[in-house]
């Protein structure tokens, strides 16, 4: 049995930055440091930070006065930013700059009187944060519409199709999103939006890589947590491109029966999954007969985001 690793895989620049913000906050202010929502969607990362003194909460009313609070990489609605400021909390914003960019687009469209279509998944914290930017900025009567699939796009009934814009969640399937945008552009030719979508470089690169991996492997293992949007998309894309595909949090979740009759196993990892989990999966596969481990060709990533000024020194 042979193992092929996708390239790129695992941590993106936004996740690297978010974890570093929590680590530096713990070092600088000492525990506890409160983190609103899982800083990134990975069970192992969250458990590790919790052991070191991070306290994960879902809402700010769980954060005591004068505490230090980190906003997760997914971003927060404006009401949360305003509430933290009003309470005088020390805020360290780990929102990925590529999500912040989408927030800016939404606020601009709201100010300029457009309704906005947000292509994304209901209930995901990034979607809640992005919707909350519009709600804070829009004039009365303005609306932001969540569209999850092509059927939603076909049913959409905006107030004024001439004053309409779209944005997208950053971690969607590139191919699904392209189809949804095509429906919107056909139905509403005047719609404004990014040239293609707001899907980030890391999501795009990992999806391209998993397509190459699935073409070469009978089985693809995606390392990532079940609540990680981009990891779920990798599993779906691998399955759609002909491989049997499973999402696993770590090596302990691999079922040995999956390997039966498989000559080549592909391994990749979502943008929030640390590389040591991939290494453990490879070790597990070696223990079960993998004799060769190789990495597929793929682009190198050099994106880095700067830390908040308070943590730079």
Instruction: Please list the active-site residues.
Output: 126
- Binding of ligand SF4 at residue 73 (CB under 6 A)? yes
- Binding of ligand SF4 at residue 203 (CB under 6 A)? yes
User: How many CB atoms lie under 10 A from the CB of residue 56?
Assistant: 18
* All residues at 6 or more sequence positions from 172 whose CB lies less than 8 Å from its CB, including other chains: 119, 120, 121, 197, 199, 203, 229, 233
Q: Which residue, among 15, 38, 25, 16, has the nearest Cα to 69 in the 3D structure?
A: 25
Q: Which of 202, 251, 277, 281 binds ligand SF4 (CB under 6 A)?
A: 202
Which residue's CB comes closest to ligand SF4? 14
Alpha-carbon dihedral sign for residues 276, 281, 282, 287 = positive
| Cβ distance to ligand SF4 smaller for residue 113 or 299 | 299
Q: Which residue, among 14, 5, 93, 84, has the nearest Cα to 298 in the 3D structure?
A: 5
Q: Which of 6, 15, 265, 267 binds ligand SF4 (CB under 6 A)?
A: 15
Compute the least distance from the CB of residue 305 to ligand SF4, in Å. Answer: 8
Q: Which of 171, 173, 207, 228 binds ligand SF4 (CB under 6 A)?
A: 171
Helix (H, G, I), strand (E, B) or coil at 198: coil
Q: To which H or E segment does residue 90 belong?
A: strand 90-93
| Cβ distance to ligand SF4 smaller for residue 138 or 234 | 234
Q: Which of 25, 69, 99, 117 binds ligand SF4 (CB under 6 A)?
A: 99
Distances (CA, A) of 192 to 104, 165, 178, 293: 14, 4, 15, 46
Task: Determine contact, residues 214/220, Cβ cutoff 8 Å.
Answer: yes
| Cβ distance to ligand SF4 smaller for residue 54 or 138 | 54
Residues in region 257-286 near ligand SF4 by CB under 6 A: 271
Q: Which of 8, 14, 125, 266 binds ligand SF4 (CB under 6 A)?
A: 14
Radius of gyration (Cα) for the chain, nearest Å?
A: 21
| Cβ distance to ligand SF4 smaller for residue 102 or 296 | 102
Compute the least distance from the CB of residue 180 to ligand SF4, in Å. Answer: 18
Alpha helices (H) along 30-74: 43-51
- Binding of ligand SF4 at residue 225 (CB under 6 A)? no
Q: Which of 3, 5, 12, 172 binds ligand SF4 (CB under 6 A)?
A: 12
Binding site for ligand SF4 (CB under 6 A): 12-15, 73, 96, 98-99, 170-171, 200, 202-203, 230, 271
């Amino acid at each position: 049995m042979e193992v092929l690793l996708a390239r790129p895989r695992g941590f993106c620049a936004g996740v690297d930055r978010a974890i570093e913000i929590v680590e530096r906050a713990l070092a600088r202010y000492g525990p506890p440091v409160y983190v609103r929502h899982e800083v990134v969607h990975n069970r192992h990362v969250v458990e590790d930070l919790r052991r070191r003194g991070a306290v994960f909460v879902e809402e700010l009313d769980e954060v005591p006065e004068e505490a230090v609070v980190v906003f997760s990489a997914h971003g927060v609605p404006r009401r949360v930013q305003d509430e933290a400021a009003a309470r005088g909390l020390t805020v360290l914003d780990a929102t990925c700059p590529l999500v912040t960019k989408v927030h800016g687009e939404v606020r601009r469209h709201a100010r300029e009187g457009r309704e906005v279509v947000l292509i994304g998944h209901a209930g995901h914290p990034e979607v809640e944060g992005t919707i909350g930017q519009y709600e804070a900025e829009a004039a009365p009567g303005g609306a932001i519409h969540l569209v999850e699939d092509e059927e939603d796009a076909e049913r959409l009934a905006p107030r004024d199709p001439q004053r309409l814009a779209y944005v997208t969640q950053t971690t969607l399937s590139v191919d699904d999103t392209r189809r949804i945008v095509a429906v919107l552009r056909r139905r509403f030719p005047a719609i404004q939006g990014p040239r293609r979508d707001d899907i980030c470089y890391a999501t795009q690169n990992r999806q391209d890589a998993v397509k190459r991996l699935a073409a070469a492997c009978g089985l693809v293992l995606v390392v990532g947590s079940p609540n990680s949007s981009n990891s779920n998309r990798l599993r779906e894309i691998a399955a759609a491109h002909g491989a049997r595909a499973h999402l696993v949090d770590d090596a302990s979740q691999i079922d040995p029966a999956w390997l039966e009759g498989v000559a080549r196993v592909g391994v990749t990892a979502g943008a929030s999954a640390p590389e040591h989990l991939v290494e453990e999966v490879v070790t597990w596969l070696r223990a079960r007969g993998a004799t060769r481990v190789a990495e597929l060709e793929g682009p190198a990533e050099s994106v880095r985001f700067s830390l908040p000024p308070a943590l730079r020194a």
